[in-house]
Amino acid sequence: MKFATCAAALASLSLFASTLAAPVAASPEKPQQTKEEVEAERQKALARQRNKYFHEPGGGHQLGHYDARFFHGIVSDQERHETQLTMIRAYLDYFRENDLDTWLAHGTLLGWWWNGKRLPWDWDMDTQVSGATLHHLGQAHNQTRTKYLSTDGQREREFLLDVNPWIWERERGDGANIIDARWIDTSNGLFIDITGLSETHPDTNPGVWVCKNYHRYATSDLYPMRETLFEGAIAKVPYAYDKILVQEYKEKALVVTDFEGHAWNMNQKEWIKTQAQIDKEAKEAKEQAAREAAEEEKKKKDTEMKRQAAEIKKLEDEEKRQLSQKKYDDAQEKKRQEAEAKRNQAEEEEEEVQQEEE
């Protein structure tokens, strides 16, 4: 098993070759790091990448939310919205139909708390399962692909359930494999992160469930689960959802009604994008368009310059060709004249000989 898991992790390594090449900078707090320390850190980062099962096309706010294998570019807000809606419904239906225990977690749970929907600014979607369910997923559901009609009825989407081979290791380790499984939209790479909760120390810490990212939950906070609706599909949330949310996000997450460029509208029970945010996005889009236009212009100029250079080269080549043709013609002419001179001389000599004979 151990070998097989390593092989799988290695197989996906090539996806990250570019990241590996990036040098590991010494952290600014430790300016007097020795060469050996820097190298040791680099080796650690390399090992971490080697062990990592799921890969993203990049880090950060946007690229970190795509699975590298299915990424073809950042999608529009509209496409993300549509993907996430269909994705979570397909997920919840699949898990319910297959009797797999799962519930909403983190930002997805917070979105549910407000209005039974995802937070419109959230790129993440998170669910949790028990360790037992996770192992069952790995054995019986890994790599299943589920087709699901998108919520706008426009197209069929396909979702891949991919289970991390490191699920058998329940400690955090180097942190490269804290996500246990993913439910991935195979058309664009967006996904739901699935993490398992395990009782890692049932002897010393019974009834305490942890994920690999050190979130901990008491059995009585999780169970019995409450059945509810999320984005129109039947879903489950932990029994003490409010306690869990306050622990993770503090009271303010349940109170503050201005967040990430959205304001809570009490009557509509919706997060509405603020005018300031709309203006900001419009400005960013304009700047982006200007950047692209400038790039296009530069490309055009480069192409034109290349074309002119090619034209000049063609003229020069033609000139060279004519010059060498002329040299050749001149040489031929010279040879012809010499031959003629020789012939004339021979004729003259012939004539002289004849005259002498007469």
Ligand X SMILES: *[C@@H]1O[C@H](CO)[C@@H](O)[C@H](O)[C@H]1NC(C)=O
Positions touching ligand X (CB under 6 A) are: 8, 138, 142-143, 163, 165, 167
Of 108 and 177, nearer to ligand X (C-beta) is 177
State in angstroms the smallest separation of the CB of 303 from ligand X.
44
> Please, what is the minimum distance in Å from the beta carbon of residue 83 to ligand X?
23
Least distance (Å) between residue 225 CB and ligand X: 24
Smallest gap from residue 177 Cβ to ligand X (A) = 11
Q: Compute the least distance from the CB of residue 192 to ligand X, in Å.
A: 16
Q: Please, which residue, 79 or 101, has the CB nearer to ligand X? A: 101
Compare residues 192 and 237 and give the one whose CB is closer to ligand X: 192
CB of 218 to ligand X, least distance (A): 27
Q: How far apart are CA 93 and CA 144, in angstroms?
A: 14
How are beta strands 126-130 and 191-197 bridged, if at all?
parallel
> Alpha-carbon distance 348 to 51, whole Å?
99
Q: CA 257 to CA 107: how far, in whole Å?
A: 15
Residue number, 8 or 132, with CB nearest to ligand X: 8
Tokens of 118: 């995802």
Least gap, CB of 243 to ligand X (angstroms): 32
DSSP string, 122-170: ----EEEEEHHHHHHIIIIITT-EEEEE-TTSS-EEEEEEEE-GGGG--
Say which residue the tokens 């898991």 belong to.
Answer: 5
- Bridge partners of 184, per DSSP, are 160, 191
Residue 152 in tokens:
């706008």
- Closest listed residue to residue 109, CA positions, set 96, 91, 122: 122
> Each residue of 57-89: b (16+ CB within 10 Å) or e?
beeeeeeebbbeebbeeebeeeebebbbbbbbb
In angstroms, the CA 192 to CA 103 distance is: 12
Task: Please list the residues that pair with 149 across neighbouring strands.
Answer: 156
